[in-house]
Amino acid sequence: MKILLASPRGFCAGVNMAIETLETAIRLYGTPIYVFHEIVHNKHVVDRFVREGAVFVDRVEDVPEGAVLLFSAHGVAPEVRRVARERSLHAIDATCPLVTKVHLEAIKYARSGHRIMLIGHEGHDEVIGTMGQAPDAFTLVETAEQVDALPFGPDDKLAYLTQTTLSVDDASRIINRLKERFPQVVGPPKDDICYATQNRQEAVRLLAADADIVLVLGSQNSSNSQRLAELSRERGIRSHLIDGAGEIEPGWFTGDETVVITAGASAPESVVQDCVEWLRTRFDATVEERTIRQEEVYFPLPKELRAATAPAGSPRA
């Protein structure tokens, strides 16, 4: 058996920032610390923080007045921020800057009178937060076929935005259909799909040509991890989305396969290495790392924490 370790894989800059934000907040303020929705969509990360005293909530009203509340990497609607202020919560914003970019684009288009088609998945935390920036302006589009049913005409001012964790191929199909049907539609000057999502998809797309099976490390509610598994299957390669080595089934293998292993942007490297060791132990697998692209993106802590952690006498962030 041969293992091809896809690189880049695993944590992106936004996930690293969100995790470091929660770690720092726990160190500064103690526990319990409340987090609106999961800090990132990964079971291992969430379970770890629960053990450390974080409390994950789906309603701001469930947070005691005056407590510390952290907004997750996926972003929140203005209404959530308003309720947090009403309850005198100490809010810390760990929204990924690439999601914030989409929020600002949404506000800009809504103010200029555009109807906005958001390409994304209904119910995803990021989609809820983005549509909450201008609820009356948005229409959610999940498939290219839905474009044909949109009730707009040639005189309507239209714009599109995308969830940051989509399949690049799926998003392109929908955007192309929108442009065919509505030549007047406008979009952001740069892709909304984040660099890490694109890089991980590119790695899987290239390595799948050499693979018999693909293992994607990530949780079932992780959109970008789901897309990696789908991308492999679309190329006729058996693919499994798993949270860790405990979910691997020996019957998936005969022992002479080439196995590509990758990880979604919220999956820890430790679970990748656990799977590598599982295959090494049972199938005497060799490992080769295949690097498709280097990543050097870094996002600083939110300003609320940069100020709190600045050394005495240093300039405030």
**Phi and psi, residue 25, nearest 5°:** -65, -40
Q: Are 113 and 166 a contacting pair, CB within 8 Å?
A: no
C-alpha pair distances (Å), 64 with each of 67, 125, 190, 305: 6, 22, 40, 21
DSSP state of 300: P
Q: How far apart are CA 109 and CA 43, in angstroms?
A: 35
Annotation says 126 is catalytic: yes
Closest CA to 92 of 14, 34, 13, 37: 34
Task: Choose the catalytic residue: 126, 230, 257, 304.
Answer: 126
For residues 224-248, b (16+ Cβ closer than 10 Å) or e, as one string? bbbbbbbbbeeeebebbbbbbbeeb
Q: Which residue has the tokens 């969430």?
A: 46
Task: Report residue 23 as tokens.
Answer: 């770690």
Three-class secondary structure assignment of 272-288: HHHHHHHHHHHHCCEEE
What is the arrangement of strands in the sheet containing 54-57, beginning at the earlier edge strand? 54-57, 33-36, 68-71, 90-93
Strands (E), 74-225: 90-93, 115-119, 138-141, 158-162, 213-217
Q: Are 120 and 130 in contact (CB under 8 A)?
A: yes
Question: Which residues on adjacent β-strands are paired with residue 238?
Answer: 213
Give the catalytic positions in this structure.
126
